[in-house]
Structures are given as structure tokens and as C-alpha cells.
Amino acid sequence: MMARPRDIIYVGNPFQADNRTSSHHIARHLSKSHRLIYLEAGGLRAPRASRSDLAKIVRRVQLLFTPIQEVEPNIFVKSIFALPFGSHPLIGAVNRKIQRLTIRRLFRSFALHNPIIWCVSPALINVVKDVDRSLLVYYCVDDFSSFPDVDVSLILDLDQQLTTLSDIVFTPSKPLFDVKKGQAKRCRLSPHGVDLKHFGRARSAPAVCPEPISGLPQQPIVGFWGLIEDWIDLELVFFLARELADVIFLMIGRVAVEIPEGQIPDNVRFIGQIPYEQLPEYAYYFTVAIIPYKLNKQVYNANPLKLREYLATGKPLVSVSTPETERYRDVVALADGYEEFLEMLNRELDGESHATPEARLRSVENESWSARYEVIWETVETLLADKEVS
């Protein structure tokens, strides 16, 4: 049955973000049947004195004066104004006043009536909690209070408000679900999905070898993609690179931490962000993929999106052991510590993997984003119907 078209105010991270996250996948699926007003919420952490963060601030100020745009069919994106250091009472009050004005204008412009409020970020809960709505959904993908450089007390307050006010909370990981189920009215475990067709392209050679790879020495490639933030264990990557001098470590993604150049081994290459559409072309050349996370609270509660993306390429994968990666122990080499990670990686590089490419593909064959979305929307639609009857 075709879903009845709804208006949805969607609070997420920047739509043209460094990485395509679960937020973007769910938003795109929603937009196939519903009109989506996508609000880019301000960051949850204070800006650092780095060129990367300064560039983001400039970009967000520019977007403030950019009218709402239909960037894709049924997806209308508006960047929401937020001065840094919003935990300060005066700055917070200014932010909320301007944000409420912006949302009121959007209600008038789009003739919104009781839309669904769908939050991936808790940043705007103090603004949207008073908005007329048919449903409040919290698609909680992370433990935001464990992010680096955030005001922990502020984030905990925002997250708690959104959790308790929401009609339903979806979480992608079992540890996060176990926390939220005791706080929310309703909580559902909803693991991440994967674009199987897209990442399946990594099994065939691209028409043209990507330039950053064509210039590399003819050596095995250990690959990673994702935002290179505080939760990435670069010390582990550098340890592996020093031990495996005949292997190239290809790190794809924006580097959001400071790395003294003298610390980077010669066989580690940081090549910056690559468009999502091109990732399979790079994965084709990976000998092994890695997930080198630090074992902190954020990682413990996370369900890494790249885990399924790597598996959908069929490539061997070595990862640190976390509650969510443990579920894939049959097809992922899991390590506890640097030495074991090195041992596992050596085995995979030598072709001694305990899993075949076919087994890796089978492990995610029923985990497409389409399948995940259908379950999510069926739950939401049931809640809407119950509310309308009552």
C-alpha cells in the first residue's frame, strides 16, 4: 500500500555533509513519498581553532542568507542559524528566538499543518517541542554526549528532553537501545542499512583508476573511509603502517584532528574526502579494509555504517571488537589490541581469511536501506493511525 503523503520537518546534520550518514539515507527514502523540510541543525560541539572548523563557520553563515532550496525532489533544505557557544544563556536565547522565527516562516511558506517532526539531532528540541505536530520521532544514531568538545551537560539535557517527549525513539545499536528503552515512551532497535547495489560495484574494475590510486606504488592497499575524528585510533594505524612497510594505508575522509606531519609514516596516505558515489571505485583496489576505532564510550554505543558498506564490497575486513561488530564475527576479523590487530591484518593480506567474499555479501544481503526503511515507516504509520483514531 502506498504511504499517505505527509509533511515532515526533518532535523539533521548538514545535507551536503562530509559523509553520507544514516540520516541522509532515511531522509531520501522519506522523500520518495513525503515532502521533507530538511533543517540543518548547528553542530553540537564548540568550534576548534582550526582551518577546517573556521571554514565550516563561514559556510554556515553564508547558508544563513541562502533561501530554502529544493536540492532533490521533495527535499527542501534550510540551514538553521546558531551562534557558537550556545550553552551561554544570552547566546542560547538569541539562537532560539531566531530559530523560532525561521520555523514560523517555514510553516507559512509551506502551509504546514501538524507535520511529523523527525529529529536525528537533539540540537533544536527547545525550538520544535512547542511546534504543532502529528508525531515526534527521534532517530537516535549516536551517544552525542560522548562526542569530543561538546558541552556534556547541555547535550545530555537536550537528548533527555527529546527522548522523553518523542512518540517513538529508534536506535541503531543494542547498547544504545538498552539505554533508551528505559527512558522513552516507545523504543525500537533499528540497525543501519546499506546500499547493496552501490557498494557491489566494488567487485568490478572501474572504467578509470582513480588518480590518487593510479599514482601509488604497486603494493597491497589497506583502506579506510570516513570522518577522521577523535574516535579514529591513528596511533593504531601508524603502528600497523610501521610494522607493514610494504603496504599502503589509504585514509579517505576529512581530517578533523591535528596530526603533526613528522608522526605520519611514509606509507600512510591521507587523500581527503571522496564523494560517496565514487567510494566503490576506490574499494575495488583495497586488499583489506579496516575499522580502527578507539574503544571509548561513543564507539561502544555506535553501530558503524561503514561495517556494512565494507561487507557489501566483499572485501576482507579487520576491525576492533565492539558490541555491534561482534555480531559479524563470522565474516569480520575482530581484534582486541594492537598486536592482535596486526596479526589479523597479516592473515588477511596473506589471503588466509576465515570468510569468503560470498559469505561477506550474504551477511548483509537482507540489510538494505529499503528494507530498514519499510520497517521504520510501518511503525510510524501505525502510531499515526492510532493517534488519529484516538
Burial classification of residue 121, based on how many CB atoms lie within 10 Å of its CB (0-12 exposed, 13-18 middle, 19 or more buried): buried
pLDDT of residue 61: 65
pLDDT of residue 57: 61
pLDDT of residue 146: 86
pLDDT of residue 252: 97
| End-to-end CA separation in angstroms for the chain | 23
Contact of 364 with 311, CB cutoff 8 Å: yes
Output phi, psi for 311, to 5 deg.
Answer: -60, -35
pLDDT digits (tens, 9 = 90+) for 297-309: 999 999 999 999 9
Q: 0.75 exceeded by the pTM?
A: yes
Task: Name the grid cell of 292.
Answer: 580502527
Residue 266, SS3?
Answer: coil
> HEC states along 14-44?
CCCCCCCCHHHHHHHHHHCCCEEEEEECCCC
Contact of 142 with 179, CB cutoff 8 Å: no
Task: Name the grid cell of 366.
Answer: 537482507
pLDDT of residue 244: 98
Tens digit of each residue's pLDDT, the chain (390 residues): 456 899 999 999 889 876 889 999 999 999 999 999 999 986 565 555 556 556 656 666 666 677 899 999 999 999 887 776 666 678 778 888 888 999 999 999 999 999 999 999 999 999 999 999 999 999 999 998 888 878 888 899 999 999 999 999 999 999 999 999 999 999 999 999 999 999 999 999 999 999 999 989 999 999 999 999 999 999 999 999 999 999 999 999 999 899 987 899 999 999 999 999 999 999 999 999 999 999 999 999 999 999 999 999 999 999 999 999 999 999 999 999 999 999 999 999 999 987 999 999 999 999 999 999 999 999 999 999 998 876
pLDDT of residue 1: 47
pLDDT digits (tens, 9 = 90+) for 197-241: 999 999 999 999 999 999 899 999 999 999 999 999 999 999 999
Distance of CA 254 to CAs 232, 251, 274, 279, 364, Å?
12, 9, 9, 14, 27
User: Where in 73-214 does DSSP place strands (E)?
Assistant: 75-79, 116-119, 135-139, 168-171, 187-189
pLDDT of residue 240: 98
Angstrom distance (rounded) from CA 194 to CA 192: 7
